[in-house]
Amino acid sequence: MAVLVTGFEPFAGLLHNPSHALIEHLPHTLGGEELVRATLPVDTQAVVQRLETLYAAHQPKAVLHLGLAQGRSLLSLEQVALNLLDFDIPDNAGHRRQDQPVLEGGPLALLTRLPYRDILEVWKAAGIPAQLSNSAGTYLCNQVMYLALSKLPQDVPTGFIHLPPDETLALSRPQPYVPLEVQARAITLALETTLTFALPNQPRLDR
């Protein structure tokens, strides 16, 4: 069984998305599990089918979705996803949404299924600049987090981490950033912690 990690393609006129760049920096296996990486389209319609295909093809034992949060200077471990799509900035296919649910009839909010307190502790010990966030927004990242938590089995650790700009984005427009290498280390630690704490039958990993 595999562990699935995804990033997003660039969007909103940017030429780069650290969440896409970062997945190439992750190890190929973690704790003996294959790490499957994929890049999701920033298209509110196409992303639904893409997720279904990925989940069906890999039957992952843990899932971590990643995206960029422009304007945030720390990694954000997202605590909740809302059943709401509401965005003025069109996605890459030109769609906009207002006051629409991600899933008709679904609960208003879903809580992450990552061991987030453990991840925060591990990050703190490693000096990772990160925070717990209680808003994943109402754009594609929140949609993917909500869909993942709705579609994957309850016992599959599942969640979302928003990444800050990296050095490539900071070079094109001066802004606070966290180097991609540090972000990749943080995500590797988050995945290791998830396999260790959320799947108790897993042998403990060496850090």
Q: Where in the sequence numbering do the catalytic residues fall?
A: 78, 141, 162
Three-state SS string over 68-82 comes to ECCCCCCEEEECEEE
For ligand PCA, which is the closer residue by CB, 3 or 141? 141
Residue 189: phi, psi to the nearest 5? -60, -40
CB of 41 to ligand PCA, least distance (A): 10
CB of 28 to ligand PCA, least distance (A): 23
- Cβ-based nearer residue to ligand PCA, 123 or 139: 139
Count Cβ atoms within 10 A of the Cβ of residue 50 and give its class: 0-12 exposed, 13-18 middle, 19 or more buried.
middle
Minimum separation from the CB atom of position 160 to ligand PCA (A): 9
Q: Which is nearer to ligand PCA, 145 or 152 (CB)?
A: 145
Nearer to ligand PCA, 16 or 185 (CB): 16
Give me the residues that bind ligand PCA (CB under 6 A), please: 8, 11, 17, 19, 42, 67-69, 137, 139-141
Q: Provide the pairing of β-strand 97-100 with 85-87.
A: antiparallel
Which residue's structure tokens are 């943080």?
186
**Alpha-carbon distance values, 78 to 32, 74, 105, 130, 136 (Å):** 26, 12, 22, 11, 6
